[in-house]
Each structure stands twice: as structure tokens, then as C-alpha cells.
A and B are shown apart, each in its own frame.
Chain A
Amino acid sequence: MVALRELIEAYAEAQKDPKFKREFQDYLTEYDGRPTPLTFAANMTRALKGARIYLKREDLNHTGAHKINNCLGQILLAKRMGKKRIIAETGAGQHGVATATVCALFGLQCEVFMGEEDVRRQALNVFRMKLLGAQVHAVSSGTKTLKDAMSEAIRDWVTNVRTTYYLIGSTAGPHPYPMIVRDFQKVIGEEARRQIQKKAGRLPDALVACVNGGSNAIGLFYPFIKDKKVRMVGVEAAGDGVKTKRHAATMEKGKPGVLHGSYSYVLQDLDGQIAETHSISAGLDYPGVGPEHAWLRDTGRADYVSVTDKQALEAFQALARQEGILPALESSHAVYQAMKIAPRMSKNSILIVNLSGRGDKDVNTVLERLGSKLQGGRP
């Protein structure tokens, strides 16, 4: 608790400091490449004959996903707090890569905890982290995936609390993390809001984003929460289907509980033991969800739905063929949901999809699933 108090205080001070904000903004512009475009998906819109679909291009961030926004903010905070050693958890490796990147940039020691299972599945990202100068610890406890990596990072943090900053990658973990991560990700929604007003002269009718811990979704949603007419849809991973045991649909199938210091929906058994998850997308396998999403759901402000592995793959291919963009498998869940609801919306309505990351990292997974079935060429 002392470490969390220290973080709460340091963050409150940083927020009051205009220099901190300016520095964060500078790095977002000069290093990360923000603002990211809001691309009109003309072909997909034409094909679906419904709402005008815009893509918030978080895939064009440095390192290929929205994760870097939060990492830049938190590394500046860590530097301010005088911490010399940075630790992070990672599932698919995207947050690990983003953390290793900012640590390289600021010359800080970086250690990333990653489940043994994920280390095996995401060998390329492990190598990327090492290239960037990070040390990767394979975690062999529990289910050997993201939640265990996070548990191990927390254990390291309580052991080395005096020297170490824990850089959490999603809106998970104890307060103030979900708030901090949201604040550093809300740039997504702020930009999208400005961009759509400039392009269309009005606010969108709906926002769609994939949700696991929920950082990209809360980043997009947050600046629109007060705009009651803007519908918000979070898309969870249904894996093989929510009727099977292999999914990560925390909102749909979870119950309120405490995981890693936050109270929110959690996938668990009757006793409260945390359940295993599954999704084709390695970045959507945390059995909890950010507490602010639970609040948005319980108050009815946002809707949460789920999309299966198969459907996500379908959207992955559709976006590739129609727009020339390979979306991350995580983001493909959101794209599928957009494809589903756009035809039911009028032609002058506007839909923004958060394209949280690029799909290059997933090409191997997709190859395994589609492989020989895939026919090239254009009809």
C-alpha cells in the first residue's frame, strides 16, 4: 500500500505540472508519431451498405499498437519518481515490447515477466524485447500465461519496491493503475473526437473497441462518456464460443471479484478460483477487466458483446482485402462487431472502430488457422 500511495501522490503532482504534460505530448508527437489518422474505410463502408466506418489507426503508432501511449506516460512518471528499474507483465508481448522500447529510450533497466506458455507462442516478441535490451523472465507458475505474469510482476514489485517502478500495461491492477492507464490512453478518444468533428462536422453515432483489460477501449470511450448520444460497444473474445469453456468473455460470463487488487468482473469458478481463458488473440486472455468498464456496463452507458475466434479471423481477412490493412487479431474482434452492426445503421450514421494494433505479429497464427484454405487473387 505504501508503494501505491507513493504512486498516487507522484501522479497527482505530475498532473499538476504543465511541464510533465508538455513532455508527454512531445514524446507522443516526436517519438510515437501522433496524432494517428482517422481513416475512412470507404470500401468496407460500400460493401456493408450501412454506417460510414472510420478506423482510428492505433496500428500506426511506433511499435505497432496503442500500448506505447501508456508506456511513454508511465516512463516519464517513473523517471520523475527517480526509479531506476522498470518491470512489466506481458501476455502476447506487445506491452513488453512497448515497455522495452521506452526503457531503451530512457536508458532504464527493464525486466519483463511473461508466462512460459506465451514465451513459447510469441518467440518473436521475446526476441524483440531482448534486442531492445530488456531481460525476459519466463513465469512457470499457475497457468503460465498473462495473469501469472502479472502475479509474478507484483511479487517482484513488493520485493524491490524501493527501487522499482511497475509499469502495468492495461486498465488492471490496483488503484491508481486503471486510472493512470486510462489517462495516458485517452489521447485516442480525444484525437478521434477532434478528427471526426473536422471530417464530418459532428460526433459519431457509435464507437467500437475490443476489450480485455480494456485500455484501448477506455482510451477511445473516455472522452465520449458524457456524450450520451454516442453509443459505445466493447467487444470481448468469445474464443471457441461463450457456451464452451474456452473463451475470455469476462463481462458476459464473469462475476464480480477481486483479482490483482481491483474489484471488477472476473472469470472464476464457484469457489472464486480464477478460470483459465482462451482466445485466438494472445492479447485478449486476461480473466479480468478494467473496473471502469464494469461501471460503464452496470450503468448501461456501454454495451459489451463477444466475438469468436472464427469471426475475428473473418474480419481480419475482410479488412486486409477491402482496405489493405492487416489488423491485430485483438482489433479484428472490434472490426467484426462493426461489420455486424454497420449494415443495421443508416447510411449517414458514423461508426468509429479502434484499430488498436497491426496484425503483422499475428500472421503466423493466421497461417496456422487458414493455411492451405486461403485462396489468393481477387474475384
Chain B
Amino acid sequence: MSQKLRRLFQRASITHRPLFLPYICLGYPNYKASLESAKAALRAGAAALELGVPFSDPIADGPTLQKATHLSLQNGTKFADVFRMIRDLRQSGFQQPLLVMTYLNLVEQWGWEEFAGALAQSGGDGAIIPDLPLEQFPFFKPFLQKENLSLIPFIAPTSTPERAKLADAQGAPFLYYVSVTGVTGARKSLPSELVPALRSLKNRLKTPLVVGFGISTPGQAAQVGKAADGVIIASALVQLISKTKAPHIGKAVEGFCKQVVKALHKQ
């Protein structure tokens, strides 16, 4: 697995500072603006980035990400653009871990070995694939392991204790905890059972927990950060980008990410 990711979470657990992992939609509203957003998030103190590669049929995503990914595809975004973005970010000197988030079919078409090779070569650190079930990890994880890359398992509020254990046993740098039953998208409030559920999981599992789906404000991030090792914000950031005129996107993203990081550090 990616040593960079492992060290990142080790440090976070020592300092008790939950990490912020924003999601950036590749090619939304266009390549250049998405690269600017990524840079801005990293400048603002994002611990790592989730770089989303659009798929025509994103079954885990709510309306905001559906619209953004659809538009990105219409603009001609190709899978290979994600490697280009990672290279661009590395060339600009950013050291933070970069994770590719995409759907299984795209990786299947690239081929796992080719995907892992290209990801490692460009300077990426791992992959998040929401429609890849844990049962399939033994078949595909080795391709990433060979290149020292991580494959991130998901767990949900409906996951049984056995399943959470199976995810825990994958040796991943973190588990992606889905905060709600449902799809991605900003929500007004988080389920009241979220923090207790996280605390109970933290007691049982050794892998750090990062929480995503439905978190949209610095306040919500701070609330979740009390019981998690990290927080992912996707739809709210995409919404912010959609409301902002192109030349100001970087600044808006940086401002928002700074607020989230600050809120998380106030713990």
C-alpha cells in the first residue's frame, strides 16, 4: 500500500487532527478549472485528494455529481486525463496523496495491470471504486499492491460486524465510511446515529475511518471529525464550483477548504 497514506494517518492519530480529503471532479467544468480546483484544495491544507473520473452510469452518485460528471464527459474528458492531472499536480510540487475515484467498468477496460502501472507512474497513491465489492478485493488488490498502491474498502451503516471486520482486514490505509444509506449529495443534517456508530466502529476496528456522503459544511465536518480520522466532501464542493465563475473557482475552492480544515483543527 501507499506508505504516504499510511504515514499520513499515523500522524493524524498522534496529533488528533482529523484529515480533510476533498473530492474534485475531473474535467468539471473543464480540465483547466478542475486542475485549478485541485491545486487550490491542496494549498488550503487538504491532506489528500479524491480525483473523480466521470462514468456514464454513476450508480453511487446523487444529482449533483451526476450532473457534473455528465457535463465533464460531454466536454470530452477521457480516463487518461486523470493521469495527466496527477502528473500536473506533482510537477507543481504537491506531495499529498492522490486517490483516483472511479467505477469498476472503466478500470476493467483499461486493464488492472495497466491501470496500476499508469497510476503509479504518474505519481498517484491508490484507488476508490464504489461498485467493487469487498468479495472481489482478492482478485484485484494484488495489481495495486504490486505498485505500492492502496485500494480503499467501503463500509456502510448497514454493514454487518463481520463485513466491517473483513474490510478492516484488507490492510488499507483507511476505510471509506458511508455516512448514510444512499448516494452522494449534500444533506441539511447528518443522521443522529452517525457519531455513536463511528465511535463504536473505532473501538472495534484498527483501520482509520474516513467519512463521506452527505457532509457539506465546515460545521458538519467538525461534528463528524469528533469521531473519525478524516472527512470527505464532494457534492458541496462541486456545487460551489458550479455557482462560481471560471476565473474565481480556485479562490472559492481554497476559501472553502481552508474553512473546513480550520473547523477540523479546532477539535
Which residues from chain A sit less than 8 Å from chain B, CB to CB?
1-3, 141-142, 147-148, 151, 154-155, 158-162, 255-261, 266, 268, 270-274
Does B200 make an interface contact (CB < 8 A)? no
Contact partner, A274, options B56, B67, B133, Cβ 8 Å = B56
How far is B229's CA from A253's CA once the two chains are assembled, in angstroms? 46
How far is B213's CA from A159's CA once the two chains are assembled, in angstroms? 12
- Name the B residues within 8 Å of A268 (CB-CB): 105, 109
* A257 near B108: Cβ-Cβ < 8 Å: yes
Interface residues of B in 136-181 (CB under 8 A from A): 156, 158-160, 163, 180-181
Minimum distance in angstroms from A338 CB to a CB of chain B: 34
* B106 near A272: Cβ-Cβ < 8 Å: yes
In the complex formed, the residue of A with least CB distance to B73 is A273
* A2 near B156: Cβ-Cβ < 8 Å: yes
Most buried by B among A147, A154, A160, A271: A271
Minimum distance in angstroms from A275 CB to a CB of chain B: 8
How far is B106's CA from A266's CA once the two chains are assembled, in angstroms? 12
> Taking A141-B63, A159-B182, A272-B105 as contacts, is the C-beta distance between A260 and B159 under 8 angstroms?
no
Enumerate 24 A-B pairs (CB-CB under 8 Å) in ascending A order: A1-B134, A1-B135, A2-B156, A3-B158, A141-B63, A142-B66, A147-B57, A154-B59, A155-B61, A155-B62, A159-B182, A159-B183, A161-B181, A256-B108, A257-B108, A261-B131, A266-B105, A268-B105, A271-B78, A271-B109, A272-B79, A272-B106, A272-B107, A272-B109
How far is B135's CA from A258's CA once the two chains are assembled, in angstroms? 15
- Name the B residues within 8 Å of A147 (CB-CB): 57
- Name the B residues within 8 Å of A3 (CB-CB): 158
* B70 near A142: Cβ-Cβ < 8 Å: yes
Does B20 make an interface contact (CB < 8 A)? no
Minimum distance in angstroms from A133 CB to a CB of chain B: 26
Contact partner, B109, options A141, A160, A257, Cβ 8 Å = A257
Contact partner, B105, options A160, A258, A270, Cβ 8 Å = A258
Interface residues of B in 112-131 (CB under 8 A from A): 131
Give the top 9 A-B pairs by smallest Cβ distance, nearest first: A272-B109, A159-B182, A272-B106, A273-B56, A258-B105, A274-B56, A2-B158, A272-B105, A258-B104
| Other contacts beyond A151-B58, A155-B59: 15, CB < 8 A | A2-B163, A142-B56, A142-B70, A155-B182, A161-B158, A257-B105, A257-B108, A258-B108, A259-B105, A266-B105, A272-B79, A272-B105, A272-B107, A272-B109, A273-B55
Does B94 make an interface contact (CB < 8 A)? no
Minimum distance in angstroms from B190 CB to a CB of chain A: 15
Main DSSP-derived SS at the A contact region? mixed
Minimum distance in angstroms from A359 CB to a CB of chain B: 30
In the complex formed, the residue of A with least CB distance to B104 is A258
Contact partner, B57, options A148, A159, A161, Cβ 8 Å = A148
How far is B55's CA from A272's CA once the two chains are assembled, in angstroms? 8
Minimum distance in angstroms from A331 CB to a CB of chain B: 28
> Taking A2-B163, A259-B57 as contacts, is the C-beta distance between A141 and B181 under 8 angstroms?
no
How far is B164's CA from A1's CA once the two chains are assembled, in angstroms? 12
How far is B62's CA from A1's CA once the two chains are assembled, in angstroms? 19
How far is B183's CA from A161's CA once the two chains are assembled, in angstroms? 12
How far is B44's CA from A328's CA once the two chains are assembled, in angstroms? 60
Minimum distance in angstroms from A163 CB to a CB of chain B: 10
Most buried by A among B56, B59, B107, B182: B56
How far is B220's CA from A360's CA once the two chains are assembled, in angstroms? 55
Interface residues of B in 2-44 (CB under 8 A from A): none
> Taking A1-B134, A161-B158, A270-B109 as contacts, is the C-beta distance between A141 and B66 under 8 angstroms?
yes
How far is B33's CA from A245's CA once the two chains are assembled, in angstroms? 32
* A151 near B106: Cβ-Cβ < 8 Å: no
* B181 near A158: Cβ-Cβ < 8 Å: yes
* B105 near A151: Cβ-Cβ < 8 Å: no
Minimum distance in angstroms from A129 CB to a CB of chain B: 23
Minimum distance in angstroms from B157 CB to a CB of chain A: 10
* A258 near B133: Cβ-Cβ < 8 Å: no
> Taking A147-B57, A155-B183, A274-B56 as contacts, is the C-beta distance between A1 and B133 under 8 angstroms?
yes
How far is B57's CA from A193's CA once the two chains are assembled, in angstroms? 39
- Name the B residues within 8 Å of A151 (CB-CB): 57-59
How far is B178's CA from A161's CA once the two chains are assembled, in angstroms? 14
- Name the A residues within 8 Å of B107 (CB-CB): 272
* A260 near B109: Cβ-Cβ < 8 Å: no
How far is B136's CA from A220's CA once the two chains are assembled, in angstroms? 32
